[in-house]
């Protein structure tokens, strides 16, 4: 799961004098990096919290990282360093098919960890190896459940719904928000970066002539 921020400034480059053209690779790389960090900030501070119930406020900032551009490789990357497949599914949506006979969909009874994972002891295989069991509700829904309480207070608690196929809704607009932010910020960042690079080069040129 990643978004690449690339540049296309050939038209702008044609209008540059030779002095300015020498600064384009440096300015572009710096602008791409600034834009990538703008994208990361948008995802971490706004897009992710609006898409999910956040239990660990540091999780998104830990997950999303920036791979910087340089003058030889004018591509910056914002990517999920943890490689969580389910994040891509949340961003793209689609159909999920089981690796075995069923997909186990957690109910609200399953409390995830601060990092968003199902605790090891509550994963379907471990539940079935403990007090959990497969059963079918009156509605015909197959589930993994467990018994709680004793005597008159004894009741069934559904932990997982079992499905042959599951439709995963698209709920995390990672690509949409990242592209909007990149499109909005790159020109601004490039102008600032190019002006700085040209001023720096001019100062160096004056210093060389004065020696």
pLDDT band for position 149 (cuts 50, 70, 90):
confident
pLDDT band for position 12 (cuts 50, 70, 90):
low
Lookup result for tokens 């970066």: 193
Distances (CA, A) of 201 to 76, 101, 143, 196: 24, 65, 68, 9
- Whether the pLDDT of residue 97 is over 90: the answer is no
pLDDT band for position 15 (cuts 50, 70, 90):
very low
193-210 pLDDT, tens digit per residue, is 988 887 877 777 666 555
Report the distance separating Cα 64 and Cα 70, nearest Å: 20
| Tokens coding 139 | 């509605």
For residue 35, give every residue at least 6 positions away whose Cβ sits within 8 Å of its Cβ, in sequence order, or none: 5, 76, 181, 182, 185, 186, 189
Lookup result for tokens 């690779």: 25
The pTM score is: 0.69
Distances (CA, A) of 148 to 24, 48, 104, 132, 160: 67, 35, 20, 10, 15
- Whether the pLDDT of residue 75 is over 50: the answer is yes
Q: What DSSP state is assigned to residue 159?
A: E
How deeply is 211 buried, as exposed, middle or buried, from its count of CB atoms within 10 A (0-12, 13-18, 19+)? exposed
Pair 93, 172: CB distance under 8 Å: no
């Amino acid at each position: 799961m990643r978004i690449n921020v690339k540049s296309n400034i050939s038209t702008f480059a044609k209008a540059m004098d030779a002095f300015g053209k020498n600064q384009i690779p440096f300015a572009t790389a710096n602008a791409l990096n600034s834009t990538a960090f703008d994208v990361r900030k948008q995802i971490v501070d706004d897009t992710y919290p609006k898409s999910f119930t956040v239990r660990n406020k540091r999780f998104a900032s830990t997950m999303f990282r920036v791979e910087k551009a340089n003058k030889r490789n004018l591509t910056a990357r914002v990517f999920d360093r943890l490689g969580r497949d389910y994040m891509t599914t949340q961003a793209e949506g689609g159909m999920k098919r089981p690796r075995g006979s069923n997909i186990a969909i957690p109910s609200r009874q399953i409390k995830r960890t601060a990092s968003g994972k199902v605790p090891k002891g509550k994963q379907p295989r471990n539940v079935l190896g403990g007090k959990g069991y497969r059963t079918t509700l009156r509605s015909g829904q197959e589930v993994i459940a467990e018994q709680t309480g004793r005597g008159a207070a004894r009741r069934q608690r559904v932990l997982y719904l079992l499905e042959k196929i599951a439709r995963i809704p698209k709920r995390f607009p990672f690509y949409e928000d990242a592209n909007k932010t990149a499109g909005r910020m790159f020109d601004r960042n490039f102008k600032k970066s190019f002006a700085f690079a040209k001023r720096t080069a001019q100062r160096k040129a004056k210093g060389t002539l004065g020696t």
